[in-house]
């Protein structure tokens, strides 16, 4: 009797849990989550004017833009952000010669060992080295950046939704929260005063909670002097470094797209060939009639 009661109680609990799960799942699927007041000022990432050349099924790398983006990373972003999944030798894919890659690598300092004393030291990088981190560890990185660890940029465009556009929009999208208006004309400071940036934070409508620890890295036109003479406006620099970081995250993207077209063409050819083969093999066979 006791065993039967135990079984019934267990079944009762199981039934209640299943009902609760079903109700919760239905509610989550049918009722949108309530968003905080500040979310009305959040903006989805946008493309730069003219888009990116690598977009679409027939996209290609704009090598000049990638080189400009590397320059922005080196002169601006590298002060805080690591990119240690990319080697200096990979720069050859951006159109640099072997001598240029070696010379460029030598302008960076990487950790090494003194051959005479065995002590840790810094040395000029070689083409086989990877881009160094600006900080020795995460503790030092957080201490220098208002307790926020700057993310590694090697794969940042794959780690963020709509990555290329996100990086571009974020860099070019800093705004003054006291005057910023959303599409409905509401002023952020008046509609969501409790969400105003705190000490050490900055307002950016493309960041998820609008308050970001990173100060605007691109602040003035001409902050970087491009070797090809392109005017270095904030949108231009933002687009260039976004394109470069797209390449670092997926350097084989264009090759993959081109290979995909060959695969589709071969599959189509094989399908047509198989159809003709089937017609040839069964051409002499007549269907039998059953009365």
Binding residue positions for heme c: 77, 80-81, 214
The whole-angstrom separation of Cα 220 and Cα 231 is: 11
The whole-angstrom separation of Cα 82 and Cα 182 is: 34
Residues 6+ positions from 249 with CB-CB distance below 8 Å: 154, 155, 156, 157, 158, 163
CB 126, CB 86: distance < 8 Å: no
Helix or strand (DSSP H, E) at 121? strand 120-124
Helix or strand (DSSP H, E) at 260? helix 253-281
The whole-angstrom separation of Cα 68 and Cα 236 is: 10
Residue 211 backbone dihedrals phi, psi, to 5 degrees: -110, 115
Length of the chain: 291
SS3 label, residue 149:
coil
SS3 label, residue 188:
helix
Q: What is the DSSP string of 188-227?
A: HHHH-GGGS--TT-EE-TTSTTSEESS--S--STTSS--T
Strand partners, 211: 203
Known binding-site residues equal 77, 80-81, 214
User: Tokens at residue 89, please?
Assistant: 């030798």
User: Tokens at residue 84, please?
Assistant: 């240690």
């Amino acid at each position: 009797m006791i065993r039967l009661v135990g079984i019934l109680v267990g079944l009762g609990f199981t039934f209640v849990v299943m009902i609760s799960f079903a109700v919760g799942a239905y509610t989550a699927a049918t009722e949108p989550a309530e968003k905080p007041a500040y979310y009305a000022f959040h903006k989805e990432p946008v493309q730069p004017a003219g888009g990116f050349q690598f977009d679409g099924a027939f996209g290609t790398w704009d090598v000049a833009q990638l080189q400009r983006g590397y320059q922005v990373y080196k002169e601006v972003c590298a002060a805080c952000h690591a990119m240690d999944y990319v080697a200096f030798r990979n720069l050859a894919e951006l159109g640099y010669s072997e001598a240029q890659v070696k010379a460029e690598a030598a302008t960076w300092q990487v950790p090494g060992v003194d051959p005479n004393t065995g002590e840790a030291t810094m040395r000029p990088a070689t083409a086989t080295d990877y881009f160094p981190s600006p900080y020795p560890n995460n503790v030092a990185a957080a201490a220098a950046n208002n307790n926020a660890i700057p993310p590694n940029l090697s794969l940042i465009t794959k780690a963020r939704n709509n990555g290329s556009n996100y990086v571009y929009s974020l860099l070019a999208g800093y705004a003054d929260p006291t005057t910023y208006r959303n599409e409905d004309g509401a002023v952020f400071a008046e509609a969501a005063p409790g969400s105003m940036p705190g000490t050490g934070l900055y307002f950016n409508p493309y960041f998820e909670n609008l308050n970001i620890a990173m100060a605007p890295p691109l602040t003035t036109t001409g902050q970087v002097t491009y070797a090809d003479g392109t005017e270095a406006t904030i949108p231009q620099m933002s687009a260039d470094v976004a394109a470069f970081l797209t390449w670092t995250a997926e350097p084989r993207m264009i090759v993959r797209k081109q290979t995909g077209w060959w695969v589709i063409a071969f599959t189509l050819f094989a399908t047509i060939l198989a159809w003709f083969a089937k017609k040839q093999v069964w051409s002499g066979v007549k269907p039998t009639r059953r009365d």
